[in-house]
Structure 1
């Protein structure tokens, strides 16, 4: 009697891996959202993973620590806002054009959203305590100055860059932000551009003509 042939089970094919080539970028973008909403103290791997819709282990796989993740988020923000800054000033070729372009930039909060500025100020606070993050802030300022130096000298560019930062901060934080005319005049002075003759100047009182000398009945001046 012959033995019945045994049937070998077919080998299982490996489970297909989910391809997600942009997962790291999604995690960084999610970290920016979490930083804007919860600040540094409230930013955790779990919150970032939930916002990015990735497994919790993905954040620690791509970033060794929360500090590394925040630094990557800050760099991503710096690159995006710097590109917007450069695009806003690209057409400026003369000091007068630069004044107009910078004024538009300030009045538009430098093209950044409220969430962007929230994360920016988180970066500033962290950079005060973490010198490594000052590479991000210094790179940001250097990029801005290079754009301005297309029109003005390096010393003027440095001062103008600081002025723009302060003007935008006032607009973001003030309950009564400065109007366009005030902003434009501050920028004009920093650039050293001539006064625009088309702009309304201070009101002047017309000169008063001297009163005619009193005359007598015959029309001769009285003495």
Structure 2
């Protein structure tokens, strides 16, 4: 141990620090938006020294990209599991409706993070690649039960109905299943 470490205390072994910073960044985005996210806020939320931010990330753009990628991958993984668990097309329709009615709305922070990503992706091509990959994975999961054209339409339907379910108090839970069955050719 160097004399500097002896004076300030031993260096803390923290192998999960980078992951904690990424997760904390998502928390800050959910509460303050991308515009309100700073290294200082993320470091405080992750309970790490401010210097850890520049040690682990080259800048805010890299931190945001890694955070949004993690968020999109987690959402894609959950959706893929849901679609793989569906044994029939009818079960797949129910799974898509449940995704709209339950999964996306379970944690309001996820809805905010999703919209923050969409807004950033509309302006910045680097972030558009994250949303493009997310859409490709969603369509692949839908493709387990639906043809490519229907999968693309259902993917767009999921996005639109999620917004309506979150923001329009007049939209009932049955609209998702009805819309999914109409789009996918049943009824």
TM > 0.5: yes
C-alpha distance in 1, partners of 2:164/2:90? 23
Of the three residues 57, 82, 89, the one matched with 2:83 is 89
Matches within 5 A, 1:127-138: 127-138=121-132
Contact preservation (8 Å) 1:74, 1:123: yes
Name the structure, 1 or 2, with higher relative contact order (CA <8 Å, separation 6+): 2
Instruction: Say whether 1:183 aligns with 2:168.
Output: no
Of the three residues 37, 47, 50, the one matched with 1:53 is 47
Please give the root-mean-square deviation of Cα atoms over the aligned residues, in Å: 1.9
Matches within 5 A, 1:93-172: 93-110=87-104, 113-172=107-166
Q: Could you list the per-position Cα deviations for residues 104-140 of structure 1 after superposition, in whole angstroms to 9, with x for gaps in the alignment?
A: 2111043651101101111111111101111100010
C-alpha distance in 1, partners of 2:50/2:173? 47
Corresponding residue number in structure 2 for 1:78: 72
**Structure (1 or 2) with the greater helix fraction:** 2
Of the three residues 31, 35, 47, the one matched with 1:41 is 35
The 3-state SS of whatever aligns with 2:15 is: coil
Unmatched 5+ residue regions in structure 1? Answer: 1-10, 196-223
TM-score for both structures, normalised by structure 2: 0.91
Runs in 1 of length 4+ with deviation above 4 angstroms?
A: none
TM-score for both structures, normalised by structure 1: 0.77
Q: Could you list the per-position Cα deviations for residues 73-131 of structure 1 after superposition, in whole angstroms to 9, with x for gaps in the alignment?
A: 10111111111112222222322221111112111043651101101111111111101
Unmatched 5+ residue regions in structure 2? Answer: none
C-alpha distance in 2, partners of 1:22/1:179? 39
